[in-house]
Amino acid sequence: MNDLKRSKSENKLILTIILNLTISIFEIIGGLISGSLSLISDALHNLSDSASMFISLFSLRVTNREKSSKNTYGFKRAEIIAALINSILLFITLAYILYESVLRLIHPQEVSSIIMLPVAIIGLLGNFFSAVLLFKESQKSINLKSTFLHIVIDTISSVIVIAGGFIIHYTGWFYIDPILSLIVIMYVLKEGYAIFREVVHILMQGTPIDIDLSQIKSRLESISGVENIHHIHVWSLNENERFSEFHALINCQTLNEMDQLRDQINRILKDEFQINHTTIQFEGEKCKITNI
């Protein structure tokens, strides 16, 4: 992400944070007055989103720092770490909402739909605008993708809260409030776990999910002069930069041929597998290298 695009992303994120905090405060007040747990749950989720957005904003700025002798890869994993923290914050929020939902099922409380409905509708409009604001940015970064997912889930949560408000208004069935909260929890948990799993996979230097090591081995061994590829490792620094290292048994006659093989291998890995950085250890049992 270049500086101009990063600055644009930061500005949109700042605007989203302000909007999200405003919605959260409004929903908390409305939830306390109306007695709606689902509204308060939505507000707490919004607050956790605001925290995650602050983390995302911080990581966007840290990521762009220059490399140093102590940090030879730079700070590009800051966004991945931010996504991990955001996921953990989400799980903590879900645990609290689950606890409150179970209490409300055991001891149902009266909910004022007259207050609950307009507050939830305002929250829905704010969340929808935030989602539109960050949609394009979410396609460029797993960090912003996790933030965008929080907002989308908030939008869905607001719809559910509104539906609950109408049910309470027309039926007086207060159990629907904690039940809808549990539905939101299950959906958020499913989506949040998917991001958490992807982030942990990257941090554990796992092979990218769309990479087939046997396919890479087969493709590289089809190159003239390459006898065998082994000890293959492919991992991600973040969602955009991939690294690989492996041993290559080659059959060549000159150093120039070896250089040409290396260039060809790097080109194939970059163009066909989107691997940006490669370290190759050549083995030449059949080589008779000369300087010709």
Query: pLDDT digit string (tens) for 53-63?
Result: 777 777 777 76
Average pLDDT, the chain: 79
158-177 core/surface letters (b: 16 or more CB in 10 A; e: else): bbbbbebbebbeeeeebebb
In tens, the pLDDT along 84-102 reads 887 887 788 778 778 877 8
**Side-chain-facing half-sphere of 138: CA atoms under 13 Å:** 17
pLDDT digits (tens, 9 = 90+) for 245-275: 999 998 876 788 888 899 999 999 999 999 9
Q: What is the DSSP string of 82-141?
A: HHHHHHHHHHHHHHHHHHHHHHHHHS-----HHHHHHHHHHHHHHHHHHHHHHHHHHTT-
Cα 87 vs. chain centroid, distance in angstroms?
Answer: 8
- Angle between helices 113-138 and 3-34 in degrees, nearest 10: 170
Distances (CA, A) of 158 to 12, 83, 151, 167, 241: 22, 23, 10, 14, 36
Read off the pLDDT of each residue in 216-232 and give the average, rounded to a whole number.
92
Place 214 in a pLDDT band, splitting at 50, 70 and 90.
very high
pLDDT at position 232, please?
94
pLDDT of residue 6: 55
Kindly tell me if the per-residue pLDDT of 31 is higher than 50.
yes
- Strands (DSSP E) contained in 133-189 are none
Give the per-residue pLDDT at 283. Answer: 85
Which tokens belong to 179?
A: 């039940």
DSSP letter for 250, please.
E
Whole-angstrom distance, CA of residue 80 vs CA of residue 63: 10
Confidence of residue 109 (pLDDT cuts 50, 70, 90): low
Q: What are phi and psi of 115, to 5 degrees?
A: -85, -40
- 90 vs 225, residue with greater confidence: 225
More confidently predicted of 184 and 201:
201
Q: How far is CA 292 from CA 135, 257, 258, 260, 288, in A?
A: 56, 10, 12, 14, 11
- What per-residue confidence (pLDDT) applies to 140? 67
d(CA 79, CA 215): 30
Which pLDDT score, from 0 to 100, does residue 5 have?
Answer: 52
